[in-house]
Amino acid sequence: MEPIASSLLRPTVPLVEQVAGFKVKGRLRRRCKDCYFVIRQERLYVICKTHPRHKQMAMKQRDYKSWILTHATQSKVRPY
């Protein structure tokens, strides 16, 4: 009966390895000589093989900020 009790009370070590994610920034810059820029999925990234903590990602531009204005009027009465 003793082997069952000892296996129940044995602490388990989690098998999780922490990985640094991307920092989201408005303006990206290279932090060392090994950092380089990459464009993926309409975003600008900084990747670094030697220092993974240097990874950065540009903020995604909001849709309404990228609209192309084709026609604008300044009259008080709308034509429609």
CB count within 10 Å of CB 6 equals 9
At residue 30, the pLDDT reads 97
pLDDT (tens digit per residue) in 2-61: 566 666 777 777 777 777 789 999 999 999 999 999 999 989 999 999 999 999 999 988
Q: Taking the model in full, what pTM does it have?
A: 0.58
Cα–Cα distance, 49 to 66 (Å, whole number): 33
* Domain range list for the chain: 23-60
C-alpha closest to that of 26 among 57, 53, 55 = 57
Q: pLDDT band at 1, cuts 50/70/90?
A: low
At residue 29, the pLDDT reads 97
More confident residue, 37 or 75: 37
